[in-house]
Amino acid sequence: MKKNALFHNLKFYKGKRVLVTGHTGFKGAWLAQVLYYMGAKATGYALEAEKGSLYEKIDGDDLIHNVIGDLSDRQLLEKTIKNFQPEIVIHMAAFGFVKECFDDPVRAYRTNLMGSVNLMEALRDCTSVKSIVIVSTDKVYDNKGDGMLYREQDVLGGTDAYSCSKICMEYMIKDYRQSYFQANDRAIGIAVVRASNVLAGGDHVKTRLIPSILSSVAEGKPVELRNPSQTRPWQSVLDALNGYLSVARFVYENPNKYSGEWNIGPTHDGVRTVLWVCEKIRTSFQGLAFREGERFKVAESETLGLDISKALEELDWEPILACEKVIDQVVEFFKCQEAGEWEREICLRQIAEFYGG
Ligand SMILES: NC(=O)c1ccc[n+]([C@@H]2O[C@H](COP(=O)([O-])OP(=O)(O)OC[C@H]3O[C@@H](n4cnc5c(N)ncnc54)[C@H](O)[C@@H]3O)[C@@H](O)[C@H]2O)c1
């Protein structure tokens, strides 16, 4: 398949009504700007943006219609969907941190499983919707820690509340799709997308790798690394979001063919150790030191890899940014930010470069 998802997405999303859950989060703030750049009509549904978050810094409310609500509030979800009449839904809202989910499993299952049930219930009577993308994670695979790259049909299995709540969500989605979204001649496409760790500028959550390194740079302190030898599939946030948008477009155009599960991650060059990412960032900040930090109580696998050949073969999507380039962009973002440039300008410049505009 010819690899022109960038062009096709730019054309397709102009004027489309897209509902994004989780727009106040890290990926959400980037997606709000990508959809704004494309000329889509977007509404977001999420909890209030956190203090110091990217969404707050870019004044996200100017770019996306902002509905503040909890996934547990079914009435507000239904009202939002009824008023907006979305054609496409991208469901990203989640309690998405491995350690926090371990500490509060009730919230993990309430948000990731029951919150998603509430969204599907609210969408059941929606006649405008044609394509739904459910954002899952690469952590749903039964990871043996053997360096294997997992494929969509591989066995699922988690050992913590984050991955298990996402697995439960995936099984629930399968049920809803078969029972309510394909019945009575209705063919609304639903895809589950398993993406890997994203890298980009502007993240404020210090338990994630990039913000923890950059805050150490800003404070002149050594970086504490929990698991320097762990490998992860790192990808640019723009490649991941472009993957979600591509899957949603294919599902919109042919729901029966493209519904199902999709891995969206980097090519082999993106599967790197935590230490490699740190060393690469260190080349831009002389004197940056590392030390081994305390590990979380929750077990984290030494390796994790995603096989993206299904997406490469069947979609027009492919990862654009090599891992080195993504890290350069993260460093550039940080330096521009430190120099006082407005985060929205930095994001929109990187988005325009990505889409070739
Ligand atoms: N960041 C990554 O590297 C990564 C990797 C793989 C998958 N994911 C998945 O991508 C999605 C977005 O991740 P992120 O990094 O932007 O997360 P984030 O924590 O930065 O943002 C989460 C978003 O969900 C919203 N949310 C949380 N609980 C909610 C509730 N009860 N009701 C309504 N909204 C609620 C928050 O308000 C926020 O907008 C998540 O589903 C996550 O599991 C993220």
Shortest CA distance to 278 belongs to which of 339, 201, 217?
Answer: 217
Report the chain's terminal Cα–Cα distance, integer Å: 23
What's the rounded Cα separation, in Å, for the pair 107 and 101? 7
Query: For the ranges 16-25, 154-163, 294-303, which has the lowest average pLDDT?
Result: 294-303
Tell me the CA distances in angstroms from 353 to 34, 120, 151, 329, 349, one per residue in order. Answer: 12, 35, 31, 11, 6
Q: Does the structure show a pLDDT above 90 at 217?
A: no
Q: What is the mean pLDDT of residues 276-298?
A: 84
Query: For the ranges 10-19, 67-76, 211-220, 296-305, which has the lowest average pLDDT?
Result: 296-305
- Identify the structural domains of the chain with CATH numbers, from first to last: 5-354 (3.40.50.720)
Please state the length of the chain. 357
Which pTM was predicted? 0.96
Q: What is the pLDDT at residue 286?
A: 83
Q: Indicate whether residue 26 lines ligand 1 (CB < 6 A).
A: yes
Residues with Cβ < 8 Å from 253, sequence gap 6 or more?
none
Residues with Cβ < 8 Å from 298, sequence gap 6 or more?
98, 99, 102, 160
Calculate how far, in angstroms, residue 287's C-alpha sits from the geometric centre of ligand 1.
33
Pocket test for ligand 1, best of 19, 23, 24, 27 (most atoms within 8 A of CB): 27
Q: What is the mean pLDDT of residues 196-220?
A: 89
Q: What is the mean pLDDT of residues 198-206?
A: 91
Q: What is the mean pLDDT of residues 176-197?
A: 89
- Among all chains, which residue has been given the structure tokens 């155009």? 253
Q: Nearest 5°: phi and psi at 260? A: 120, -160
Q: Whose CA is nearest to atom 21 of ligand 1?
A: 25
Q: Whose CA is nearest to atom 13 of ligand 1?
A: 27
Query: For the ranges 63-67, 94-98, 110-114, 130-134, which has the lowest average pLDDT?
Result: 94-98
DSSP structure string for 110-178: IIIIIHHHHHHHHHHT-SS--EEEEEEEGGGB---SS-PEE-TTSPB--SSHHHHHHHHHHHHHHHHII
Q: Does the structure show a pLDDT above 80 at 22?
A: yes
What's the rounded Cα separation, in Å, for the pair 29 and 92? 11
Torsion 47-48-53-59 (CA) sign: positive
What's the rounded Cα separation, in Å, for the pair 229 and 274? 6
Burial class (CB in 10 A: 0-12, 13-18, 19+), 16: buried
Q: What is the pLDDT at residue 184?
A: 63
pLDDT, tens digit (0-9, with 9 covering 90-100), for 111-141: 999 999 999 999 999 999 999 999 999 999 9
Calculate how far, in angstroms, residue 183's C-alpha sits from the geometric centre of ligand 1.
30
Q: What is the mean pLDDT of residues 141-162?
A: 93
Q: What is the pLDDT at residue 357?
A: 62
Q: Indicate whether residue 265 lines ligand 1 (CB < 6 A).
A: no
Q: Nearest 5°: phi and psi at 327? A: -70, -35
Q: What is the pLDDT at residue 133?
A: 98
- Are 357 and 307 contacting, i.e. CB atoms less than 8 angstroms apart? no
More confident residue, 200 or 206: 200
Calculate how far, in angstroms, residue 23's C-alpha sits from the geometric centre of ligand 1.
8
Tell me the CA distances in angstroms from 125 to 74, 184, 185, 222, 237, one per residue in order. Answer: 13, 13, 14, 53, 32
DSSP 323: H
Q: What is the percent of the chain where pLDDT is above 70?
A: 99
Q: Indicate whether residue 135 lines ligand 1 (CB < 6 A).
A: yes
Query: For the ranges 69-78, 199-208, 213-222, 296-305, which has the lowest average pLDDT?
Result: 296-305
The H or E element that residue 17 is part of is strand 17-21
Calculate how far, in angstroms, residue 210's C-alpha sits from the geometric centre of ligand 1.
17
Tell me the CA distances in angstroms from 77 to 34, 105, 181, 341, one per residue in order. Answer: 23, 23, 18, 36
Calculate how far, in angstroms, residue 5's C-alpha sits from the geometric centre of ligand 1.
24
- Are 113 and 177 contacting, i.e. CB atoms less than 8 angstroms apart? no
What's the rounded Cα separation, in Å, for the pair 233 and 224? 20
DSSP 61: G
Q: Indicate whether residue 92 lines ligand 1 (CB < 6 A).
A: yes
Q: What is the mean pLDDT of residues 37-55?
A: 97
Q: Indicate whether residue 195 lines ligand 1 (CB < 6 A).
A: yes
Q: What is the percent of the chain where pLDDT is above 90?
A: 78
Q: Indicate whether residue 93 lines ligand 1 (CB < 6 A).
A: yes
Q: What is the mean pLDDT of residues 191-201?
A: 95
Question: What rounded mean pLDDT belongs to the chain?
Answer: 94
Share in percent of the chain as helix, strand, coil (round to 5)? 45, 15, 35
Q: What is the pLDDT at residue 65?
A: 98
Q: Does the structure show a pLDDT above 90 at 250?
A: yes
Q: Indicate whether residue 246 lines ligand 1 (CB < 6 A).
A: no
Q: pLDDT band at 256, cuts 50/70/90?
A: very high
What's the rounded Cα separation, in Å, for the pair 116 and 137? 15
Collapsing DSSP to helix, strand or coil, 5 comes out as helix
Q: pLDDT band at 86, cuts 50/70/90?
A: very high
